[in-house]
Structure 1
Amino acid sequence: MAGRFSTAAAGAGIPAALASAVLFGASTPFAKILIGDGLDPFMAAGLLYLGSGAGLTAVIAMRALGRRGPAPEAGLKVADLPWLALVIAFGGVIGPLLLMIGLRTTPGSTAALMLNLESLATLAIAWLAFRESVDRRLLLGAAAIMGGAVLLSWPGGQSGGPAGFGALAIAGACLAWGIDNNLTRRISAADPMTIAAVKGLAAGSVNLTLALAGGAALPGPETVAAAGLVGFLGYGVSLSLFVIALRHLGTARAGAYFATAPFIGAALAIPLLSEGLSWPFAASAVLMGAGVWLHLTEHHSHPHHHDETVHEHAHVHDDHHRHAHGPDDPAGEPHSHVHRHEPMTHEHPHFPDLHHRHGHGNGG
């Protein structure tokens, strides 16, 4: 263990979630700048995701050329494809489109903080639909985030004027991404970069096709390049890191850490877009900050049982991976191969990661 949390969470999940949040949060004001000159929402979403998919595909190709031996990550399976299709629909088409529509009429700093609703939607869906464990601390944090979002979405709540329809569109994007995050967890054992690359190429192609079919014209090469770079870092690399966080932290908690993203975006939007401050904005920042703090300081430990499990994912030989290797299994760590977990009962701090998706009683 590392401190209060499991080694896997502290060593990989938490840094990945926070780095993902920084990259995605920073992308919001830059996306606002891109569509500020009248760029079609479908076109903007298409260019951002194509930049994500193309950039990651190039990285994957270079990684394969420089690698000796088997890949350390598990590949996508046929059973993963229906989940991946839903991830693309909700997270790569519906969510980005609604965000681009909302950014047209919503101040960039307000839009950035409104994106805190994504973590709230992610947590609610994980708890209610997928029965992931959520304690009182996480619920109090979610209530504080919701209070801040209400202040921001109230007409006249920010210096840019009434939020209105734009705020509703951004809230809809957050709901779509909340669904996306919970669905992505189902395939998080596979290579994160491959998941993000396929999602980027597919979603980008759909959005670009819709934009061209609707009469939108491609922007100049400078805008295309800028959108591609923002998409690669803010969507592609960010999503790859978020899939790693899902693997180690579970959906609700990865979403809680990701809730730091809007503060990065808001902090950048104010100087980049010359936006002023108002008391509702400041009050919402305090509420959302309190909610994020409650999420980040949550602690979860109780006796729990692991059933026998056979699966495949990247791993090292920690306390949950004490299995024998056959002659065809890869050497070195981390590595990926099909492996079996023996039944086990023990207690330690943990998150609902790939190995802790158990039920909870009233005391758990």
Structure 2
Amino acid sequence: MNPRTGAISTALAAAVLFGAATPLAKVLLGAMSPFMVAGLFYLGSGIGLFVLRMARRLIKSGHAGDSHREPEGLVDPASRATSISPVSHAELPWLLGSIAAGGIAGPALLMLGLSSTPAATTALLLNLEGVLTAVIAWVVFRENVDIPVFLGMVAIVAGGVVLSWQPGDTGVPLGALLIVGACLCWAIDNNLTRKVSSNDAMAIASAKGLIAGPANLAIAFAAGASWPPAAAVAAAMVTGLVGYGVSLVLFVVALRHLGTARTGAYFSVAPLFGVALSLLLWPEWPHVAFWVAAVLMTIGIVLHVRERHEHEHKHDWIEHAHPHTHDEHHRHKHDFPYEGDEPHTHRHVHPPITHSHAHFPDVHHRHRH
């Protein structure tokens, strides 16, 4: 699988997992409050990913111990080729900002808005997240946007509107403003997360869960909620690990390769997968709106996949660390024993270069146009 196809598949996989969590959340909402569900989802995500990170570290250290018997006190220089880049002090504000916006403020505004807004209206308004994500990426962070990408976004959002539209709903209640605010928070979250996406995606997602989980649980308890049965807690945390945690890891990886607007567009098809799973759990023949939405979203994805953005551009000097193979952007030498394993991770330098090729606004192509 080439990098382009792999990045798109990763974004769509993130959408599948997140979309699947929605009908499962509806089942859990019958037994606990919305803030309790959100808190347990995030907490399950944070704890689960933390455990997976520790297991990954133990496995790597075990392999290193078997293959490199160094004297005590010395560090195997080859470990630099498999280490995962931590978030630097300079990047920490971006990460904390994304957690505050997407993990705390966003869910709080959504839950407050849900209390006075019809479900159908809420579903329509939630389509704004993809739009606001793209607008911020294009206007504030200057991601490039071509006509096919713009039209693809329009088609995907139109599909979301058709999917959630219910005839007979009139007017927009005051709570809708809170839901729009939640969408704006998540759009900010997506764009801030892009600033740290070259780092360990699992560490980023785990940090979000470990902070946002307790914050949402605190709100739930302050509102008078009590702990649900142990089985419901376990179900919520496992669902959160997969639907929020693993999904977010994939989303961050996609951000690294596709940029914010394009990743947000692919992620906007999540409701379609949620409805598809609902139809499997509660079998019935899909309404015509489902098929219209599926066609519109497919058109949007095809327009994005067919995009080819190519021009002469300049790479400035940069030093960072992320998983990579030795493609045309990674022709560096190694200052440690290297056996040719790819992909691998270590700090490396990109010297200035000017060339032309097809590219996405990934971590190496954040230039202005």
The interval holding the TM-score normalised by the smaller chain is 0.7 to 0.9
Distance in 2, matches of 1:149 and 1:101, equals 22
Find the partner of 2:100 among 85, 89, 108: 89
Say which of 306, 311, 314 aligns to 1:297.
306
Query: In 2, distance between residues paired with 1:100 and 1:76?
Result: 31
- Aligned position for 1:30: 24
Match of 1:251 in 2: 260
Structure number with greater Rg is 2
> Which of 228, 234, 237 is the matching residue for 2:246?
237
Q: Hey, what's the Cα distance between the residues in 1 that align with 2:129 and 2:183? A: 4
Counterpart residue type for residue 351 of structure 2: E
Query: Which is further off, 331-340 or 242-251?
Result: 331-340
CA displacement 1:238-293 (0-9 Å, x = unmatched)? 10111111111111111122222221012122443578865656545544443343
Contact 2:134–2:264 (Cα < 8 Å) also in 1: yes
Distance 1:272 1:327 in 2: 53
Specify which of 324, 331, 342 is matched with residue 333 of structure 2: 324
Instruction: State the distance in 1 between where 2:148 and 2:176 align.
Output: 27
Instruction: Say whether 1:194 aligns with 2:203.
Output: yes
115 and 268 in structure 1: CA distance in 2 versus 1, 3 angstrom threshold: farther
Q: 5 Å matches for 1:109-148?
A: 115-148=126-159
**TM superposition shift of 1:233:** 0.2
Q: 1:48, 1:230 within 8 Å by CA — same for their partners in 2?
A: yes
Task: Report the RMSD for the aligned CA atoms in angstroms.
Answer: 3.0
User: How many residues are paired up?
Assistant: 349
Corresponding residue for 1:60?
53
Q: Deviation of residue 299 (structure 1)?
A: 2.1
Whether contact under 8 Å (2:156, 2:265) holds in the other structure is no
Question: Cα gap change, 1:26/1:173 in structure 2, threshold over 3 Å: closer, same or farther?
Answer: farther
Seq. identity, %: 53
The 8 Å contact of residues 130 and 187 in structure 2, kept in 1 or not, is answered as: yes
C-alpha distance in 1 between matches for 2:184 and 2:202: 23
Counterpart-to-counterpart distance in 1, 2:202 and 2:259: 18
Corresponding residue for residue 68 of structure 2: none
Match of 1:47 among 23, 35, 40: 40
Alignment of 1:198-217 (within 5 A): 198-217=207-226
In the alignment, the residues of structure 2 paired with residue 153 and residue 66 of structure 1 have an alpha-carbon distance, to the nearest angstrom, of 45
- Matched position secondary structure for 1:323: coil
Q: How many angstroms does 1:186 deviate by?
A: 0.5
2:109–2:181 CA contact under 8 A, matched in 1: yes
Q: TM-score, normalised by structure 2?
A: 0.84
8 Å CA contact 2:269–2:297 kept in 1: the answer is no
Give the conservation status (yes or no) of the 8 Å contact 1:151–1:157.
no
Note the residue ranges of structure 1 that are not aligned, 5 or more in a row.
Answer: none
